[in-house]
């Protein structure tokens, strides 16, 4: 019983589905959220939380081992905890268990390790992707993430959450 239910205030609560509480809190059963294709080739994400006022997103990101390295710029900082695998840049690399800050304003081209990567990411602001000629290929912001998740039926856990 304890695996699927918890007792509080004399009432049992299910522990096997998403929850949105009236105080704004959330429980997201991440295994129940479908993966949605992200903007960079060979990547997919699960949106866990967001704040549109500051273009803030919390997400799981899975990167294939053969994902094409793509130059991008962080208009705000992106933080990540590496859950599996890793990737590297010209300055160094991160592996499972590392916490990583990609500073705001930085442009770089990550190369994924041969076992791919799974990370928990915290994005502040948008990410700009570039074409080979330096022109902007696209902008990934909180609205891009929300729209893509909705189009993939991967937003139900956030649908009733009170968020900015
Ligand atoms: Fe980056």
Percent of the chain at pLDDT exceeding 70: 98
Report the CATH number at residue 113.
Answer: 2.60.120.10
Kindly state whether residue 61 falls inside one of the protein's structural domains.
Answer: yes
State the distance from the centre of ligand 1 to the C-alpha of 108, rounded, in angstroms.
6
Handedness of CA 97, 125, 75, 65 (dihedral sign): positive
Strand partners, 111: 88
| Residue 97, in any domain of the structure | yes
Residue 104 lies in a domain: yes
> Is residue 163 included in any domain, yes or no?
no
Lowest mean pLDDT among 31-35, 41-45, 77-81: 41-45
Position 96 in a domain: yes
Q: Which long-range contacts (CB under 8 A, 24 or more apart) does 92-97 make?
A: none
Residue 16 domain-assigned?
A: no
Cα-flanking dihedrals φ and ψ of residue 88, to 5°?
Answer: -145, 160
40 Cα–ligand 1 center, Å: 11
Domain of 78 in residue numbering reads as 32-151
Residue 136, in any domain of the structure: yes
CA 37 to centroid of chain Cα atoms: 11
Radius of gyration of the chain (CA): 17
- 65: CA distance to ligand 1 center in Å? 16
Question: Does residue 14 sit within a domain?
Answer: no
Which residue, 92, 96, 38, 93, is CA-closest to 67? 38
Whether the predicted pLDDT of 83 surpasses 70: yes
DSSP 51: E
pLDDT single digits (tens) 39-58: 988 999 999 999 999 999 99
How many domains does the chain fold into?
A: 1
Q: Indicate if the pLDDT at residue 78 is higher than 90.
A: yes
For residue 51, which phi and psi values (nearest 5 degrees)?
Answer: -145, 110
């Amino acid at each position: 019983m304890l695996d699927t239910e918890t007792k509080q205030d004399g009432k049992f609560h299910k522990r096997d589905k998403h929850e949105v509480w009236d105080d704004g809190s959330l429980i997201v059963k991440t295994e129940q959220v479908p993966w949605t294709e992200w903007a960079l080739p060979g990547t997919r994400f699960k949106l866990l939380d967001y704040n549109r006022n500051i273009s803030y997103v919390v997400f799981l990101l899975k990167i294939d081992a053969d994902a094409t390295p793509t130059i991008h710029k962080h208009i705000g900082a992106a933080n990540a905890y590496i859950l599996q695998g890793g990737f590297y840049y010209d300055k160094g690399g991160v592996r499972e268990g590392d916490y990583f800050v990609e500073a705001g304003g930085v442009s770089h081209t990550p190369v994924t390790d041969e076992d791919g990567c799974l990370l928990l990411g915290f994005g502040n602001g948008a990410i700009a992707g570039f074409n080979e000629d330096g022109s902007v290929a696209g902008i990934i912001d909180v609205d891009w993430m929300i729209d893509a998740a909705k189009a993939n039926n991967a937003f139900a856990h956030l649908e009733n959450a009170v968020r900015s």
